[in-house]
């Protein structure tokens, strides 16, 4: 196990304990759901932006901008559903549209990164955050934990789709 993988291990274990504990203790489910719902859009974006660092400055700045837009729009979706802020609820359709635009921006950044380095993962990370934010904004459920759990699986699928699309674009537009 490399040092990079080892540094994530405590966080992964803490998340597992949180999810399993939240699933088993009914009184904790709403709190765990809110905590996970706020964290899920942030973590993959931070990981994606971190992976782009050290490359071309234009790609790095574009990825950072796309990352911030994704986090803000996804968090707006999460906060409108879980914290029932009326002003944010009215902005949720715009936030969903913004998540779609951020995903397209992530595909562009992913393609540019793939052209420069040959290997890119940025679109996958943004796809995770965007997919989760979109799902949560349209699937407000009485059981918040179930909505977050389902949203996590949708996020993984949307991240995989974005990664696949990014890889295809990277191959189509690769440098000769």
pTM of the model as a whole: 0.86
How does the average pLDDT of the chain come out, rounded?
84
Q: Are 121 and 163 a contacting pair, CB within 8 Å?
A: yes
Interval 50-68: pLDDT, tens: 888 877 888 899 999 999 9
pLDDT class of 73 with cuts at 50, 70, 90: very high
Would you say 89 and 80 are in contact if contact means Cβ atoms under 8 Å apart? Answer: yes
Domain locations along the chain: 37-172
Residue 116 reports pLDDT greater than 80: no
d(CA 172, CA 135): 30
Q: What are phi and psi of 56, to 5 degrees?
A: -65, 140
pLDDT of residue 42: 92
Burial degree of 175 (CB within 10 A; 0-12, 13-18, 19+) = exposed
Which one-letter DSSP state was computed for residue 142? Answer: S
């Amino acid at each position: 196990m490399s040092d990079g993988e080892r540094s994530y291990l405590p966080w992964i274990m803490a998340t597992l304990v949180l999810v399993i504990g939240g699933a088993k203790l009914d009184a904790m489910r709403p709190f765990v759901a809110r905590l996970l719902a706020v964290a899920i859009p942030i973590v993959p974006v931070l990981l994606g932006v971190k992976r782009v660092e050290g490359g071309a400055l234009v790609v790095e700045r574009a990825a950072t901008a796309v990352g911030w837009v994704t986090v803000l729009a996804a968090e707006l979706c999460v906060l409108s559903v879980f914290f029932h802020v009326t002003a944010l609820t009215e902005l949720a359709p715009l936030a969903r549209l913004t998540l779609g635009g951020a995903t397209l921006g992530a595909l562009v950044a992913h393609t540019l990164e793939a052209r420069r380095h040959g290997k890119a993962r940025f679109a996958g990370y943004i796809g995770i955050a965007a997919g989760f934010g979109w799902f949560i904004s349209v699937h407000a459920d009485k059981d918040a934990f179930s909505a977050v759990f389902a949203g996590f699986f949708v996020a993984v699928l949307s991240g995989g789709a974005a990664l696949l699309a990014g890889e295809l674009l990277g191959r189509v537009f690769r440098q000769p």
